[in-house]
Amino acid sequence: METPQIPYITLNDGSRMPGVGMGCWMGAVGGSEEAGRTTRLALDLGYRHIDTAAAYGNEEAVGKVIRESNIPRDQIYVVTKLPEAAHGNVVEGFNASLAALGLDYVDLYLMHWPMAHDPATKRVLQPEESPTFVETWLEMEKLLQTGKVRTIGVSNFSVKTLEILLPHVKVVPAVNQIEMNPCLPNDEVFEYCKKKGIAVTAYTPMGRPDAPFYTSPIFLSISEKYNAAVGQILLSWSVQRGAVPIPKSSNPERAKQNITLVKLASEDMAQIDLFHKQEGMHRTLCHRKRVEGTTALFGWTFEQLGWNLGEGGVALE
């Protein structure tokens, strides 16, 4: 089978990351069987970037497929993430993930969320409570000395939280993984990360199955122009603007489409760039159901997170 030409990006530590990955969040904690099947499909199709997390509950299944793939380990870029309950014991949290994966090292280790949980009570700690995300990051920096993690980064960080973090670091995060799609392009934090040399990984890059892209005349017209699926257009837009999308699909046809990119003309990029300006479109798609009727997510307010969102995850213009 021909391996698609997936672009690579160079991170601020000189390492290289495949420019499209396969996400392993299965929609609920666990899903080990589907996660394993999805990872196997991805590697067979030519994906070389696999993104999981302790919180997904499927590191063991993902790691097993990677180990049994017969693909040299240095050709697979493995990402996992520190759970909130391990912010006060980063080494223990990391070692638990490494053991679950059954690997000698991970390529990229991310702080999954800026908020910490008390492991005993499961209470969400507020931004000023210890361990703060600055304290957690300084402990993550020490992992680089072990040789068991090559690169470290953050996830779900905003300009606000990065502005708090960066003055204290010895190692600038190489990556910030955030939701990014044409409904929530996250332009402010994306441009900020570019200026700081921080690469951006895009989760939910294709929205949800009921996302407006799939019925939008704009996307249907662009899709027809390139004889490509709407999903391919969405991922091509992400890559062309300089982000690294991590779609998830266990459908062989769609999974192959997702790494078969097209070169979009500047006028088509511009149309997609402005899609969120349409009435009612500028909002989170990933967290929509979790934030219905509220202005908080996972125990922090949008203001504390630095997310410019109002009730229900609709952007504040």
Which residues are part of the catalytic machinery?
56
- Angstrom CA distances, 164 to 6, 150, 208, 304, 305, stand at 34, 24, 32, 12, 11
Closest Cα partner for 187 from 202, 168, 208?
Answer: 202
**Buried b / exposed e along 5-14 (16+ C-beta atoms within 10 A):** ebeebebbee
Amino acid code (one letter) for 170: K
Closest Cα partner for 203 from 58, 20, 3, 42?
Answer: 20
Contact 160, 186 (CB under 8 A): no
Closest Cα partner for 13 from 81, 148, 134, 107?
Answer: 107
Omega prior to 252 cis, within 30 of 0: no
Q: Which residues face 296 on adjacent strands? A: 301
Instruction: Indicate left, alpha or beta for 27 from its phi (over 0: left) and psi (-120 to 50: alpha).
Output: left
Chain Cα centroid distance, residue 242: 14
Could you give phi then psi for residue 296, rounded to 5 degrees? -145, 160
